[in-house]
Amino acid sequence: MAASKIIVLITGGNSGVGFGLASQLLNRGTYHVLLGSRSTDKGRDAVKDLQARHESQSDAVELLQIDVTDDDSIDKAAVTVRNKHGKVDVIVNNAGLAGMELPLRQAMREAFDVNAAGPAAVVNAFAPLLRKSSMTSPPPRIINVSSGAGSINRCLDPTSPLYGMLGYQYRSTKAAMNMVTACQWVEYGKEGIKVFAYDPGFTISNLSAHNKAENGARSAEESASSLVDVIEGKRDDEAGMFLHNTGIYPW
């Protein structure tokens, strides 16, 4: 049962970084994972896979249908969690879309909806449950899974490896997510809730055709392990900032 466990909502938990994070948390034995998935079929498969990998923790993961572009789906998910658990301790806004294969305007509309409006709407709906968290050490938290490609400073810095990188679609939506993060920190930080933007680094996933080991991407479990540090409060002195695995990025 979830009674004494730390309850973590991970949106887009059925693949890539979100799945890797769920697996890392189940390894710890102290977390209850609400595995967010917009597709119930994919979500069920992911939960089964995690239960098979972590047999002793099979009660510590459950599917939560949540499409971050659909307010009804978000509200229903929040009601489900309220009725079953009464609270949430950690929200990881991980669901993401690069959309590089789509026409520019369509890609920007869809990616803004998932990457920027999604995290704002999810936190809006789940904030009452976050306030019910009794965690003090570390306190409850919101982690928005961003990307270094969304740093405006890095975009403009000719010495940055990301200078000249293509992708208005993805880059601008992650910059918008960063602003959502800053606003959430100003709003919720004063209530004692920690808020972070976090870049997991280049990771094997379904985000794009480029996210493969042969292109230098690391495993999702490896990327997620430094995200666990943020969940465990090891980087709380950097709350309100844009973190990556070994430091911080400029906004």
CB of 245 to ligand NAP, least distance (A): 11
Considering only residues 32 to 61 of the shown chain, the ones binding ligand NAP according to CB under 6 A are 38-39, 42
Site for ligand NAP contains 138 (CB under 6 A): no
242-244 and 247-249 strand pairing: antiparallel
Cα(187)–Cα(195) distance, rounded to whole angstroms?
10
CB of 109 closer than 8 Å to CB of 115: no
CB of 130 to ligand NAP, least distance (A): 19
CB of 119 closer than 8 Å to CB of 74: no
Cα(211)–Cα(178) distance, rounded to whole angstroms?
22
Q: Tell me which stretch binds ligand NAP (CB under 6 A): 16-24, 131-139, 161-169, 242-250.
A: 16-24
Cα(223)–Cα(18) distance, rounded to whole angstroms?
10
Considering only residues 158 to 197 of the shown chain, the ones binding ligand NAP according to CB under 6 A are none
Q: Tell me which stretch binds ligand NAP (CB under 6 A): 7-15, 47-55, 131-139, 183-191.
A: 7-15
Tokens standing for residue 219:
């495993």
Q: Tell me which stretch binds ligand NAP (CB under 6 A): 1-9, 22-30, 198-206, 234-242.
A: 198-206
Closer to ligand NAP by Cβ: residue 217 or 230 = 217
CB of 56 to ligand NAP, least distance (A): 25
**Closest residue to ligand NAP in the complex (CB):** 16
User: Would you call the peptide bond into 200 cis, given omega within 30 degrees of 0 as the criterion?
Assistant: no
CB of 220 to ligand NAP, least distance (A): 6
Task: Write the CB contacts of 69 (distance below 8 Å, at least 6 apart in sequence).
Answer: 110, 113, 114, 117, 118
Alpha helix stretches (DSSP H) within 40-87: 40-53, 71-84
Residues that are catalytic: 170, 174
Residues of this chain that bind ligand NAP (CB under 6 A): 11-12, 14-18, 38-39, 42, 67-69, 94-97, 114, 145, 147, 199-200, 202-203, 205-207, 211, 217
